[in-house]
Amino acid sequence: MLPCREGPGHSNRTALLIPTKPTTDIITVLSVSTAMSDPQRPTVLVAVQEAPIAFNLSASIAKLQSLTSQAASKARRDAQAEWGNDAASRAQILVVFPEAFLSAYPRGMDFGATVGSRTDQGRAWFRRYHQSSVPVSDVEGAEMSAIRKAASDNGVTLVVGVIERCDGPISGPPREQWGATARGGSGTLYCAALTISPTGQLLAARRKLAPTGSERLVWGQGSRGDIRVADTPVGRVGAAICWENYVPLFRHALYQEHAEIWTAPTADGREQWQSTMVHVACEARAFVVSVNQFNTRADFPEDYPCLPDAKSTDVVTRGGSVIVGPLGKVLAGPLWDQSGFLTACVDDIKGEIIEAKMDFDATGHYSRRDLLKLVINEDA
């Protein structure tokens, strides 16, 4: 038995690291038909359950590019099988990666910090973590250009979880067009989700509003500009990172932004997470794409101090990625204990959502604005 945090921000929990099953390349496809189908706008939703090369940004970006290409190719084959060549050629594709894919969710790491004390080794590991994070504000720099290229080379809308650092140069469009106005401290990291268009344009880079538990030691907090969704070719895409999905007011804020596809990059591999995703889909009346990493000890550096007795094939994060429709029906997954892809072919995103909202619309006919309202501090 080894110390391992399966839920985000949890410390000192004991979990059994189980041997991995042989890694397979899985695609789960479920067709979603609707009477209000728009043959011009079929969509394929793709969840990529994989692991980065932890603490190695360049290698992780290369893996992102390769996996995005694989996901796009398989999505197009699925679209062709589902709709035929003509409709498949018009299909839009959304590819979603897990929380902190670039380039590590530091599971089990305490960075040498206890109440009233820090260690030199812990500070050295934070330095490595900082060096392997993404300088998001340098939109036209080498790292961000390579990330954006993963979307543009494959003609897909891309959502990917990253760890953002703020000490690099600034280039490209001003932050207020795609993220929080505040750049952030030069030594502060943020857990963020990037949304990138099929032409490689950065549409949104929103930071997690409140890191969970021990995450707060190494991740800063988001701000008002991080309550946003992105207009994309597949619809209005929101990103609620991990346990932000448990915050009712934040969820409602995204509902008010009319999120149609709710992405949930996560580090939560508990089975309870599945019911959360079904609930969010029902409440939002949106398609939900939740994506977690599947990784083993071999995906972390050899000198990673948190898994000293683990074998290279021992599972650290089980996965559990899932795709859910706007009435709470599970369309693909959950996928456990192996890497792979989940896909769902949807005839008409907007039509399905309109049908679902006939009897429940959290910010419309089912709201009571005369009694209840959400107030957002615009100065935060």
DSSP β-ladder status, 319-324 and 287-291? antiparallel
Task: Report yes or no: 343 and 74 within 8 Å, Cβ to Cβ.
Answer: yes
- The domains located in the chain, with CATH, are 2-356 (3.60.110.10)
pLDDT at 8: 54
User: Span 141-165, mean pLDDT?
Assistant: 98
User: Span 204-233, mean pLDDT?
Assistant: 95
User: Span 282-311, mean pLDDT?
Assistant: 95
Q: Which of 224, 247, 231 is nearest to 196 (CA)?
A: 231
Q: Of 4, 63, 74, 99, which one is the catalytic site residue?
A: 99
User: Span 265-288, mean pLDDT?
Assistant: 98
Cα→Cα distances 75→61, 95, 232, 263, Å: 21, 9, 18, 17
Distance between CA atoms of residues 9 and 147, nearest Å: 27
- Residue 225 pLDDT more than 60? yes
Total H helices, total E strands in the chain? 7, 20
Comparing 179-183, 188-192, 224-228, which segment has the lowest mean pLDDT?
Answer: 179-183
pLDDT at 18: 38
pLDDT at 198: 98
pLDDT at 380: 74
Distance between CA atoms of residues 341 and 48, nearest Å: 5
Cα→Cα distances 339→78, 103, 142, 287, Å: 19, 17, 28, 22
Q: Of 4, 191, 242, 282, which one is the catalytic site residue?
A: 242
Our answer to whether residue 329 is catalytic in this structure is no
Q: Which of 95, 177, 97, 194 is nearest to 136 (CA)?
A: 194
Q: Of 208, 244, 306, 352, which one is the catalytic site residue?
A: 208
More confident: 309 or 332: 332
Task: Report yes or no: 220 and 229 within 8 Å, Cβ to Cβ.
Answer: no
pTM of the predicted protein model: 0.89
Question: Using one digit for the tens of pLDDT, what is the confidence trace for 18-50?
Answer: 344 444 444 444 444 333 334 457 999 999 999
User: Span 131-152, mean pLDDT?
Assistant: 98
- Region class of 328: left (phi > 0), else alpha (psi between -120 and 50), else beta: left
The helix/strand/coil state of 322 is: strand
First to last CA, the chain: 44
What is the average pLDDT value for the chain, to the nearest integer? 90
Distance between CA atoms of residues 268 and 246, nearest Å: 12
| Percent over 70 (pLDDT), the chain | 89
Question: Using one digit for the tens of pLDDT, what is the confidence trace for 82-115?
Answer: 999 998 999 999 999 999 999 999 999 999 999 9
- Residue 51 pLDDT more than 60? yes
Our answer to whether residue 350 is catalytic in this structure is no
Tokens 């008002």 sit at which residue? 224
Our answer to whether residue 282 is catalytic in this structure is no
The helix/strand/coil state of 15 is: strand
